[in-house]
Structure 1
């Protein structure tokens, strides 16, 4: 386990996901290998029957489905999320393909303790189509970025980045595969660094 300064308490994390959950799987695998003193205690999803939800069931991690349409507005939905996370004593949040823009309600509840992974070399190609946009732009390289979340779209302070080349022979699918391979290593490695720095327990 990584030494997180003088703080020996296990860091309690929530993962937010909307899709297949491959980054969620990579994070859980790293944590289960006891590389660091942390635990994912809650998965938040915004729709039923996601790949991430099925993984959480396998891992024995509790799942909360937030149906935004059931709430008067996004703030009310986030208040509900915050209540659940407080009950879980969550220290930090890891976004792993969560396709929602967070409001200041949730950001203020976890200041500088919400991390996101983005499949492009920010500040280039922000938004939900980062891989497609980089591919269509015929760039020679793109990348993966991990950053703190703020109220903008992929505009928070960058924590880590790794470049990914775009080859002339690439299809969108082959580029996407290489980007995901980098994600599945960079995200756990960056989480390890943040835990070592005690970010979530400040």
Structure 2
């Protein structure tokens, strides 16, 4: 049984998908803690599902490194098999990534390597593409540049707004994330250590 710590900044829709999947006794993973970098709405899911939560507010620290050190300490006390960034809208310091990778996953609302960064959906619309997508990756020290574990195309429809496209992408992201966790737990997807330059 894999233990997961999920880190969020918002409503936690991907987190909810994992929690719902884990309600099935056969699902081989459980969320053991939920963390956030702010007072995020998704923390309410901890109360709903009886899962401990923690908050490491970025604004409480003098810099990103100090914030990252405290976040890492909070995560590591749960000894998770996987750490999942589920809409955490903050770049992790390199030493946090090094400590957790390759067991550090992220979802991204684009078909990587297309449209990396914080505005993947907006950037896809601005580029006028006919397809975007969703990706699940191993986090490395680049921006959305780590090994791709799963991805799927999502059509851009006439009249799409950033919101409407993102909602359709999120549906795919949730399914891909749950499947990736299942595949890792069942040994069908292997997380490899990345070589350090």
TM-score between both structures, scaled by the size of structure 2? 0.90
8 A Cα contact 1:36 1:195, kept in partner: no
Asked whether the 8 Å contact 1:119–1:183 carries over to 2, the reply is yes
| 1:25 maps to 2:16 | yes
Larger mean Cα displacement after TM superposition, 84-93 or 57-66: 84-93
Give distance in 2, aligned partners of 1:27 and 1:129: 24
Aligned residue-pair number = 191
Task: Give, in angstroms, the shift of residue 17 of structure 1.
Answer: 0.5
Instruction: Measure the CA separation in 2 of the matches of 1:55 and 1:11.
Output: 19
Instruction: Describe the superposition over 1:4-32 as per-residue Cα deviations: whole angstroms up to 9, x where unpaired.
Output: xxxxxx22110010011101100111122
1:82 maps to 2:72: yes
Question: Does structure 2 retain, via aligned residues, the 8 Å contact 1:142–1:166?
Answer: yes
Please name the residue that 2:3 is paired with.
Answer: 12
Query: Cα RMSD between the aligned structures?
Result: 1.7
Measured after TM superposition, the shift of residue 152 of structure 1 is 1.2
CA distance in 1, matches of 2:155, 2:26: 29
Deviates more, 1:34-43 or 1:17-26: 34-43
Q: Which of 39, 53, 63 is matched with 1:63 structurally?
A: 53
Stretch of structure 1 that moved more, 183-192 or 166-175: 166-175
Equivalent residue number for residue 163 of structure 1: 153
Say yes or no: does 1:37 pair with 2:13: no
In structure 1, runs of 5+ residues without a counterpart are 1-9
Select the residue among 158, 164, 183 that pairs with 1:193: 183
1:18-68 CA-to-partner distances (Å, cap 9, x unmatched) read 0111011001111222343221111110111x2211112211111111112
**4+ aligned runs moved over 6 Å, structure 1:** none
User: 1:88, CA displacement in angstroms?
Assistant: 1.5
Contact (CA 8 Å) 2:89, 2:118: kept in 1 or not?
yes
**Runs of 5+ unmatched residues, structure 2:** none
TM-score of the aligned structures, taking structure 1 as reference length = 0.88
> Which whole-Å CA distance do the structure 1 matches of 2:186 and 2:142 have between them?
27
**In structure 1, which of residues 87, 97, 105 is the aligned counterpart of residue 87 of structure 2?**
97
Residues 83-162 of structure 1 mapped to structure 2, 5 A cutoff:
83-162=73-152
Task: Report Cα offsets for 1:137-158 as digits up to 9, x if no partner.
Answer: 1101000011000111101111
